[in-house]
Amino acid sequence: MHPVRKQRLLLVLALVVVSSAVIGLSVYAMRNYADFFYPVSKIVAGEAPLHKSIRAGGCVVPGTIMSASDRLHTEFVITDGMARLKVVYNGLLPDIFGEGEAAVVTGKLNDDGVLVASQVLAKHDENYVPPEVAASMTDTERHNEACKGMNYGS
Domain ranges of the chain: 3-32, 35-146
pTM for this prediction: 0.63
Task: Please report the pLDDT score of residue 131 as a whole number.
Answer: 57
pLDDT for 100:
84
pLDDT (0 to 100) of residue 124: 66
d(CA 89, CA 59): 16
- Say how far apart CA 30 and CA 132 lie, in whole Å: 46
Any residues with CB less than 8 A from the CB of 154 and at least 6 apart, and which?
A: 79, 82, 83, 84
pLDDT of 74-116, one tens digit each?
Answer: 999 998 888 899 999 998 888 888 888 888 899 999 999 899 9
Q: Per CATH, which fold does 35-146 belong to?
A: OB fold (Dihydrolipoamide Acetyltransferase, E2P) (2.40.50)
Paired sense of beta strands 84-90 and 115-122, if any: parallel
Would you place residue 136 in the very low, low, confident or very high pLDDT band (cuts 50, 70, 90)?
very low
The answer for residues whose C-beta is within 8 angstroms of residue 49's C-beta and 6 or more apart is: 109
For residue 154, pLDDT over 70 is answered with no
Dist CA 143 CA 5 (whole Å): 69
- 23 to each of 19, 20, 52, how far by Cα in Å? 6, 5, 24
- Higher-pLDDT residue of 107 and 131 is 107
Q: How many angstroms separate the CA atoms of 73 and 88, rounded?
A: 7
pLDDT digits (tens, 9 = 90+) for 8-60: 999 999 999 999 999 999 888 877 666 788 888 889 998 888 888 888 888 88
Cα 27 to Cα 20: distance, rounded to the nearest angstrom: 11
